[in-house]
C-alpha cells in the first residue's frame, strides 16, 4: 500500500480569535494522527500554525514576508511525538493570514515531493477566516488565489478547509467573512476541494474524516432498465459503519525475561461428540454440516451444497418504478450504497442525470434486483432513490438501500391508540404541551441543523482512541469521562433546554408519571435495578468516573406524588441516622392524611401502598413501634367512621401488626397480629 501513502500538511490557525476552539482542534488533529498510527502507519504529515508571534518557515527565510507562520513540524512519517505536538498547540498572538499559510504548506509539499505523488498530497486548513488576508503586491486577491489554485491543481494537490463559524465569530466583520468565503470558493473551481463550515465545537470534532478509507466499488457494470436500455454504473458504499477496533487477545504467560515474546494467543477449536460417549476429538475433515429442519438435522456436505445452491447471474436490473410513498423509510435494511455513472462516461452521466431528475419530478423510486458479483449466492432487492447534485462539479447520482423480503418481516399487530381508555388519551392541554415540545426543542432552526450526522463524531470511538493514547503513556489510566463537547451528542443541549424552560415546565405540569403500584414485586425490582443499574455496574472499577455515576438526588421530604419511592430513598440515605426517623414519621403523617382525604378512584389504594412500604421499612429497621401505633390508630379510626373496605384491603394484603417474630422489640404475638383486623367490630354504617 506504499503508493497509497498520504502526504498531508495541517494548516492550523492559532490566532487569538481561535483560542476558544483550539482544544477541540487539538483533539481533532491528535485523533487524526492516532488513527493514522494504527491504520495508515506510513502516511506522512507536517504541521504549520499561523497567527504566532514568531515566524519560522522556509519562505520567510528565503524570500521574506510570510510573517507569523511557524512550521511546528516538518513533513515526516507519523509517530507518537506528532500526537504530543498536536496536543499542545501554541496559542498565537496575532491574526493570521490563511492564504500565506496555504502557500507555506504548498512550498513544503513541493520541496519534499517535487511533482510526484499526484493526488496523494493534501492540505488541511482549519481557520475561522474572519480576518482579512493581506493585499498582494500586484493584481487582486482574487487573481492571487486563482494563481495559487492553478498551481495546486498542476501539482496534484487537494485542499480541505474547515471554517469554524457560528458562535465563535459573532462579532466578526461580515464583509471580511464574505470576501474570505468567496476566496476559498475559488479553490473549488480550480482544484479538488472540500470546504465545510462548522458552528459548534461538537461538529468541529466531526468535521474532518479522521480515517482515510480507500473507496472500493461494490459493482461495476450495467444498470439495466430494459433489455435495450442499459447504463454503465459503478456502485460504492455511501455509509458504512466504522467499527470499534477488534483487539487481540494478550497472553501473560511468557516470563518477563523473555524479550522476544509475542504475547499472542491462539484460539483453537476442537470438536467432540455431544453425548460424551467418547472423548476423542473429531478431526475437522470428518465433520459435516447439519441443518435443522424441524426436529431433524439434515447433514449436507459443502460439495453437495455447492451443486444445488442458488446461483444467480451477476447484474443489476430494474424491476419497475413506483411511487416513493410506497416505500417506508423504516424498511431500509442496511447501510447505503451509492450509484454513479461510470466516471468519464459523459453519456452514462447524462442518462443517470435524466433518470434521476425524472424520478425526482415524479416523486418516484426504482425497485432493483442486484447481484453484485458472480458467484454471489443470494439476491438483493432494494430501492433506488435520486440524489440530485447541488454542486455543479458533481454529477447526479442515486442512493440505494436493501428492502426486506417477505421472510424478513414480522407483521405483529399492535393495539390502535384509539382503543385505549380515555385516561390514556392526552387531553387538549397535554396535547398542547407536547406540540410545544416538538416544535420548540428544535435542532434545525432556520437551516442551522445541529447534530448533523455528517459532522457528529462517534463518542464511543473518540473515547476509545483518547483512552488508548492516555494508556500508552500511563498504562493504569482509568477510562476518562466523556468531555463536555461529546456530551452534546448524548444529552440535550443545556442551552436549548434553558431557552425552553417554560415548555418543560408545562410538560411537567400536565403529565404525571408514577410507578405502577399493582406491579408484582419481581418486575418492580427489575425496574428499579434498571434505574440504578449503571451505578451497580460501575462500582467494579473504582477509579471510573463516568457521567452516569452521579450520586442520586437527595430526598429531604416525602412528597405527594411518589411517597413510597421517596420513603424508600430517604430510608436508604445513610449519611445521617436521623433520616430513618424522619422518613417513618413523615410517611405516617402522609398515611393519616390519605385516610382523611382519600386520593382518587382507588380510594385507599395509595394509603395501602404506603402502609405496606412503612411496614417493610419498620421491619428492616427493627422499629415496630411507630408502625404498630399507626395500625391501632387506623383501626380506631375505621371503627369510628364505620369504614369496612380499608381494613379488608389491609387484611387481604397481610398488612397487620408487626409481631415479635418479625421484630424483636414488638410485644405482639403472631396470633394477635393475625387476628388484629378480625376482632374489629365496626359500628353499622351510618
Partner 1 sequence: MGLDPEDVFKDEEDDPDNEFFQQSESSKEYVVYLVDASPKMFNTTCPGNDQKDETHFHTSVSCIAGSLKTQIISRSYDEVAICFFNTREKKNLQDLNGVFVFNVAEREHLDRPTARLIKEFDCIEESFMREIGSQYGIVPGSRENSLYNALWVAQALLRKGSIKTADKRILLFTNEDDPFGSLQDAAKKDMTRTTLQRAKDAQDLGISIELLPLSRPDSEFNVSTFYADLIGLDGEDLAQFMPSASQKLEDMKDQLRKRMFTKRVVRRIEFHIANGLSIALNTYALIRPTVPGAITWLDSVTNHPLKTERSLICEDTGALIQEPPKLFQPYRNENVKFLPEEIAEIKRISPGKLRLLGFKPLSCLKDYYNLRPSTFVYPSDQEVVGSTCIFIALHRSMLKHKRFAVAYYGASSHPQLVALVAQDEITSAGAQMEPPGMHMIYLPYSDDIRDDEEIFPDTEEDAPRADEDQIQKAAALIKRIYVKDFSAFQFANPALQRHYAVLQALALAEDDIPETIDETAPDEEGLTRPAVVKAAEAFKLSVYGDSYDEESDMGKEKMSEASRKRKAIAENAAKDYDWGNLADKGQVRVEEFNSRRFESLLKCPQPSC
Give the whole-angstrom CA distance, residue 144 versus residue 546: 51
Q: How far is the CB of 551 from partner 1 (least distance, A)?
A: 15
Give residues with Cβ within 8 angstroms of 215, minimum separation 6.
236, 237
| Beta carbon nearer to partner 1, 70 or 500 | 500
Identity of the residue, 397 or 656, whose beta carbon is nearer to partner 1 in the bound complex: 397
Residue 666 burial by CB count (10 A; 0-12/13-18/19+): exposed, middle or buried?
Answer: buried
The rounded distance, in Å, linking the Cα atoms of 155 and 118 is 6
Grid cell locating 460 = 464511543
* Residue nearer to partner 1 on the CB measure, 366 or 655: 366
Nearest to 129 by CA among 95, 86, 160: 95
Q: Which helix (H) or strand (E) holds 590?
A: helix 578-596
User: Which of 75, 77, 69, 73 lies closest to 127 in space, CA to CA?
Assistant: 69
Do residues 47 and 71 touch, judged by C-beta distance below 8 A? yes
CA dihedral 270, 272, 276, 278 (to 10 degrees): -100
Q: Which is nearer to partner 1, 63 or 216 (CB)?
A: 216
CB of 452 to partner 1, least distance (A): 8
Closest separation in Å from C-beta 238 to partner 1 = 5
**Are the C-beta atoms of residues 658 and 625 closer than 8 Å to each other?**
no
Tell me how far, at minimum, the Cβ of 576 lies from partner 1, in Å: 25
Nearer to partner 1, 519 or 678 (CB): 519
Nearer to partner 1, 154 or 670 (CB): 154
How far, CA to CA in Å, does 548 sit from each of 245, 493, 496, 540, 565? 24, 17, 21, 14, 20
Closest CA relative to residue 351, chosen from 302, 318, 379, 312: 318
Q: How far apart are CB 103 and partner 1 at their closest, in Å?
A: 21
Residues written for the chain: 686
The cell 444529552 sits on which residue? 491
Q: How far is the CB of 205 from partner 1 (least distance, A)?
A: 8
Q: Which residue has the cell 450526522?
A: 453
Strands 69-77 and 44-50: antiparallel
Min dist CB 302 to partner 1, Å, is: 8
Nearest approach, Cβ of residue 577 and partner 1 (Å): 28
Residue 595: Cβ within 10 Å count: 18
Q: How far is the CB of 655 from partner 1 (least distance, A)?
A: 22
53 vs 361, which CB is nearer to partner 1?
A: 361
Question: Which is nearer to partner 1, 350 or 619 (by Cβ)?
Answer: 350
The radius of gyration of the chain from alpha carbons, rounded to an integer in Å, stands at 35
Kindly state the smallest distance separating residue 491's Cβ from partner 1, in Å. 6
- Minimum CB distance to partner 1, residue 480 (Å): 9
Query: Are the C-beta atoms of 222 and 50 separated by less than 8 Å?
Result: no
What are the distances in angstroms from CA 16 to CA 91, 611, 624? 7, 65, 69
Question: Looking at beta carbons only, is 139 or 541 nearer to partner 1?
Answer: 541
CA 300 to chain centre: 43
b vs e for 382-406, b when ≥16 Cβ sit within 10 Å of the residue's Cβ? bbbbbbeeeeeeebbbbbbbbbeee
Q: At its nearest, how many Å lie between partner 1 and the CB of residue 50?
A: 25
Q: How many CB atoms neighbour CB 210 within 10 A? A: 22
- Select 137 or 424, whichever has its Cβ closest to partner 1: 424
- Shorter beta-carbon distance to partner 1: residue 37 or 103: 37
Instruction: Specify the DSSP class assigned to residue 380.
Output: E
Smaller CB separation from partner 1, 54 or 305: 305
Please name the residue that has the C-alpha cell 475433515: 285
Amino acid at each position: 500500500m506504499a503508493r497509497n501513502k498520504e502526504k498531508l500538511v495541517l494548516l492550523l490557525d492559532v490566532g487569538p480569535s481561535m483560542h476558544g476552539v483550539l482544544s477541540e482542534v487539538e483533539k481533532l488533529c491528535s485523533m487524526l494522527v492516532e488513527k493514522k498510527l494504527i491504520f495508515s502507519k506510513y502516511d506522512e504529515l507536517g504541521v504549520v500554525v499561523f497567527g504566532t508571534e514568531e515566524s519560522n518557515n522556509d519562505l520567510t527565510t528565503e524570500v521574506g514576508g510570510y510573517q507569523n507562520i511557524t512550521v511546528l513540524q516538518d513533513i515526516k512519517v507519523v509517530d507518537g511525538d506528532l500526537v504530543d505536538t498536536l496536543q499542545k498547540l501554541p496559542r498565537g498572538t496575532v491574526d493570521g493570514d490563511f492564504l500565506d499559510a496555504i502557500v507555506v504548506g504548498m512550498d513544503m509539499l513541493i520541496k519534499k515531493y517535487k511533482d510526484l505523488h499526484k493526488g496523494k498530497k493534501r492540505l488541511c486548513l482549519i481557520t475561522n477566516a474572519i480576518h482579512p488576508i493581506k493585499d498582494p503586491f500586484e493584481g487582486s486577491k482574487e487573481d492571487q488565489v486563482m494563481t495559487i489554485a492553478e498551481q495546486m491543481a498542476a501539482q496534484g494537490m487537494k485542499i480541505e478547509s474547515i471554517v469554524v463559524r457560528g458562535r465563535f465569530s459573532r462579532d466578526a466583520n461580515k464583509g471580511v467573512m464574505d470576501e474570505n468565503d468567496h476566496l476559498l470558493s475559488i479553490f473549488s473551481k480550480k482544484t479538488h476541494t472540500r470546504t465545510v463550515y462548522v458552528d459548534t465545537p461538537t461538529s468541529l470534532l466531526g468535521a474532518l474524516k479522521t480515517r482515510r478509507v480507500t473507496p472500493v466499488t461494490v459493482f461495476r457494470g450495467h444498470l439495466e432498465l430494459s433489455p435495450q436500455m442499459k447504463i454503465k454504473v459503478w456502485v460504492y458504499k455511501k455509509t458504512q459503519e466504522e467499527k470499534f477496533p477488534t483487539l487481540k487477545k494478550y497472553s501473560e504467560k511468557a516470563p518477563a525475561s523473555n524479550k522476544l515474546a509475542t504475547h499472542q494467543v491462539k484460539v483453537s477449536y476442537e470438536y467432540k461428540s455431544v453425548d460424551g460417549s467418547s472423548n476423542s476429538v473429531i478431526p475437522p475433515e470428518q465433520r459435516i454440516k447439519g441443518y435443522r429442519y424441524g426436529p431433524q438435522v439434515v447433514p449436507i456436505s459443502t460439495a453437495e451444497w455447492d451443486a444445488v445452491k442458488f446461483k444467480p447471474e451477476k447484474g443489476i436490473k430494474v424491476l419497475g418504478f413506483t411511487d416513493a410513498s410506497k416505500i417506508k423509510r423504516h424498511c431500509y435494511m442496511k447501510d447505503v450504497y451509492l450509484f454513479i455513472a461510470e466516471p468519464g462516461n459523459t453519456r452514462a452521466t447524462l442518462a443517470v442525470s435524466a433518470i434521476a431528475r425524472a424520478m425526482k419530478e415524479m416523486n418516484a423510486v426504482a425497485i432493483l434486483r442486484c447481484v453484485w458479483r458472480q458467484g454471489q449466492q443470494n439476491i438483493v432487492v432494494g430501492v433506488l432513490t435520486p440524489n440530485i447534485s447541488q454542486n455543479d462539479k458533481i454529477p447526479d447520482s442515486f442512493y440505494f438501500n436493501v428492502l426486506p423480503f417477505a421472510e424478513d418481516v414480522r407483521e405483529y399487530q399492535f393495539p390502535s391508540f384509539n382503543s385505549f381508555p380515555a385516561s390514556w388519551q392526552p387531553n387538549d392541554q397535554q396535547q398542547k404541551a407536547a406540540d410545544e415540545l416538538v416544535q420548540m426543542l428544535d435542532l434545525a432552526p432556520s437551516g442551522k441543523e445541529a447534530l448533523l450526522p455528517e459532522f457528529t463524531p462517534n463518542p464511543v470511538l473518540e473515547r476509545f482512541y483518547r483512552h488508548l493514547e492516555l494508556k500508552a503513556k500511563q498504562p493504569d489510566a482509568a477510562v476518562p469521562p466523556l468531555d463536555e463537547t461529546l456530551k452534546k451528542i448524548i444529552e440535550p443541549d443545556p442551552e436549548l433546554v434553558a431557552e425552553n424552560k417554560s415548555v418543560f415546565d408545562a410538560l411537567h405540569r400536565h403529565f404525571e408519571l408514577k410507578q405502577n403500584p399493582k406491579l408484582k414485586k419481581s418486575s418492580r425490582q427489575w425496574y428499579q435495578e434498571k434505574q440504578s443499574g449503571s451505578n451497580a455496574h460501575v462500582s467494579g472499577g473504582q477509579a471510573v468516573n463516568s457521567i452516569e455515576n452521579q450520586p442520586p438526588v437527595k430526598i429531604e421530604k416525602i412528597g405527594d406524588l411518589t411517597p413510597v419511592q421517596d420513603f424508600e430513598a430517604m430510608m436508604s440515605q445513610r449519611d445521617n441516622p436521623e433520616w430513618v426517623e424522619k422518613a417513618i414519621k413523615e410517611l405516617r403523617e402522609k398515611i393519616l392524611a390519605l385516610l382523611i382525604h382519600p386520593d382518587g378512584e382507588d380510594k385507599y389504594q395509595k394509603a395501602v401502598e404506603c402502609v405496606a412500604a412503612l411496614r417493610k421499612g419498620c421491619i428492616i429497621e427493627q422499629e415496630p413501634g411507630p408502625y404498630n401505633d399507626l395500625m391501632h390508630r387506623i383501626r380506631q379510626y375505621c371503627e369510628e367512621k364505620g369504614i369496612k373496605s380499608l381494613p379488608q384491603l389491609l387484611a387481604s394484603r397481610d398488612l397487620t401488626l408487626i409481631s415479635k417474630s418479625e421484630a424483636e422489640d414488638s410485644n405482639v404475638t403472631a396470633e394477635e397480629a393475625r387476628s388484629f383486623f378480625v376482632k374489629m367490630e365496626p359500628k353499622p354504617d351510618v
